[in-house]
Amino acid sequence: MRVSSSRGASAWPQRLLAALALALAAGCATTNGGDPRDPFEGFNRSMYAFNDAFDEAIGKPVATAYKSVLPDPVRGWVRNFFANLGDLFIGVNNLLQAKPSDAVNDWARFAFNTTLGLFGINDVASEMGLEKHNEDFGQTFGRWGAASGAYLVWPLLGPSTVRDTAGGLLDAYFDPVRRHDPTDARNFSVVLRATSQRADLLDASRILEEAALDKYIFQRDAHLQRRRGLIYDGNPPRESPSSRVREEPRAETAPDAPAPSDRLFDEPAASGAAVPDSTSSYEPRHPANYAAVLAAILRTAQ
């Protein structure tokens, strides 16, 4: 959930950097044999606990009230309005990922929804067959081969990774809602958007409570799987043969080796005899047309 402060967008990068420094400091003390994808688990867990408490005290009650006060169609307008603003930079990111036809699709969505859809409150583009996409700068970095790095949980912002934090700074910088003036209207919009997003997840969070043994780990693993899927636009290669264990499992890596992951920090001490499995690396490689696209972009830029 994004919750703004009364200060402007310009304060965000500094505060995130400060938080990152804090995270690194806290994380150093807590690397003792956990998951290699999550070297700062101690810090992350305390942030998770903070976010959870914030959600219980403010997020969930506000979202519940929002849901019970506003009728379904009105909440749909709010959801669509913010989704429409998001399509602008979803298109930019699709272009940066060398998917020009997807970018055109996203901008066509924005054009139709802003006009025929009355400032985006109606999603007429979906009815016309223009699909909604999910892209951001973190995915763009991933598409061009940036590894996700350590898992990080930010206060109020929630789960992320080193790569996605860098991407998130760009997302926030270009976010039309955050760039909106005057400040009062901006703050109202940011809170409204966060409330709308949280309200859509009330059922989901209840299911999470029921399904997870350890909510922190359940959410972390789901987040990392989801981000990986998004970078591959829904067609990630299967993780490893170990995802298919039948009655007679093959002898694999060391017994306690964690699931293969796109790890930034190898921890030989922590993972014991775990041997890095070369076949389990699944960070995206450059698309086949990388060189051609790069050349085309450079040519247009001149």
Q: Which residues contact 269 (CB under 8 A, 6 or more apart)?
A: 33
8/76 with CB nearer other proteins:
76
209/297 with CB nearer other proteins:
209
42/258 with CB nearer other proteins:
258
83/92 with CB nearer other proteins:
83
Is residue 99 classed as helix, strand or coil in its secondary structure?
coil
The least CB distance from residue 300 to other proteins, in Å, is: 29
The least CB distance from residue 290 to other proteins, in Å, is: 23
The least CB distance from residue 62 to other proteins, in Å, is: 13
At what angle are helices 41-54 and 11-28 packed, to 10 degrees? 130
How many helices, marked H, and strands, marked E, lie in the chain?
12, 2
The least CB distance from residue 268 to other proteins, in Å, is: 18
- DSSP 8-state assignment for residue 6: S
CA distance 137 to 261: 21
218/290 with CB nearer other proteins:
218
How far the first Cα of the chain sits from its last, in Å, is 40
C-alpha distances out from residue 34 to 1, 37, 40, 162, Å? 27, 8, 9, 18
41/293 with CB nearer other proteins:
41
Is residue 142 classed as helix, strand or coil in its secondary structure?
helix
Q: Is the peptide bond before 182 cis (omega within 30 degrees of 0)?
A: yes
CA distance 172 to 86: 11
The least CB distance from residue 291 to other proteins, in Å, is: 28
The least CB distance from residue 256 to other proteins, in Å, is: 6
**Nearest-5° angle of CA 43, CA 46, CA 48?**
110
